[in-house]
Amino acid sequence: MDREPLDRNSILDAMRYLTHGVYVLGTRRGRQSNAMTAAWVMQVSERPPSVAVAVRDDRYSRDMVLESGTFGLSVLRDDQVNVATHFSETSGEYDDKLLGVPYGLTPGGSPFLLDCLAYLDCRVMDTARAGDHTVIIGEVTAGDTLNDSFPLIFDPTEYEEALR
């Protein structure tokens, strides 16, 4: 092999084969709502049902989640790449990304998309530092399936502009 396997690009190339779904993480602090696209999401416990999401430290959503102690996850359908793009293109610091988007509030008060496959309502249980991200662990306190369809699987080639 002529490539050095410890090279950062080799590592990142290999990590592109990890599989993820695509979600919209919604949060609310006081009267302000915001939402961002998140793919680094996984289930981490069954009792209590819990998930973890890695949020980069400079995301506007991060402090909103940590201060409110709650967040919602809307599971996107396989035809909603445009929705994932919308919630990743700008920051809630400058734009109201939920303006004109039909959404509801979970029992915990977080925004979720009315047009999605399913949503989870989460209460922050714990956090962990992971390099430039904060891993936020949330107990899932409510959830509902809105649609009988297939989840969107993360394909980096569909977001080349947004992820550049």
Ligand X SMILES: Cc1cc2nc3c(=O)[nH]c(=O)nc-3n(C[C@H](O)[C@H](O)[C@H](O)COP(=O)(O)O)c2cc1C
Helix-, strand-, coil-residue percentages of the chain, each rounded to 5: 20, 40, 40
* Closer residue to ligand X (CB): 36 or 120: 36
One residue of 29, 60, 115, 141 binding ligand X per CB under 6 A: 60
Please tell me whether the peptide bond between 107 and the residue prior to it is cis, using omega within 30 degrees of 0: no
* Closer residue to ligand X (CB): 7 or 126: 126
* Closer residue to ligand X (CB): 4 or 161: 161
Tokens of 43: 């289930």
Residue 144 makes CB contacts below 8 A (sequence gap 6+) with 118, 119
CB of 93 to ligand X, least distance (A): 6
Contact 87, 107 (CB under 8 A): no
Q: Is 54 in the site for ligand X (CB under 6 A)?
A: yes
By CB under 6 A, name the binding residues for ligand X: 22, 34, 36-40, 54-56, 59-61, 84, 88, 90-93, 154, 159, 162-163
